[in-house]
Amino acid sequence: MGDWIGLGLFVLVIVGALVGLSQLGKKPKRLTEEEYEQRVAEAKGTTRAAALAGMNALNKMINPKAVEAIEVQRDLKAGFYNDEEKKGEGDGPDAGSKRLGPTGEGGGDA
């Protein structure tokens, strides 16, 4: 039974490769001038966004502090950045000695 499954998978891969190669061999559909202009106009935004994303990644590698400053400025404009740190539970000097665990229970580990 296992031999038939393996043979079927092998044949499926070969048939898929042949169909894919036959699709690559077809000539592309001819475009009218209007269709070509429309595709070029649509692609400008996508290409520009991809180029900017690549430049941003390159800039992060070269100068990470500048990128961090830009992100902080964006956060400030959006209203998300708060430079005050809020005191919370565990910020005191004895925070290391407090044991985390369930509250209100007697104490068994099980």
Segment 5-57, tens digit of pLDDT: 989 999 999 999 999 999 988 888 888 999 988 888 887 777 777 887 888 78
Encoding tokens for residue 109?
């580990």
CA dihedral 33, 37, 43, 44 (to 10 degrees): 150
Mean pLDDT of 76-80: 81
pLDDT at 12: 96
- At residue 96 the predicted structure's pLDDT band, cuts being 50, 70 and 90, is low
Q: Where are the domains of the chain?
A: 32-81
Model confidence pTM above 0.85: no
Mean pLDDT of 85-110: 57
Cα 12 to Cα 6, 15, 17, 22: the distances in Å are: 10, 5, 9, 15
Q: What are phi and psi of 81, to 5 degrees?
A: -95, 130
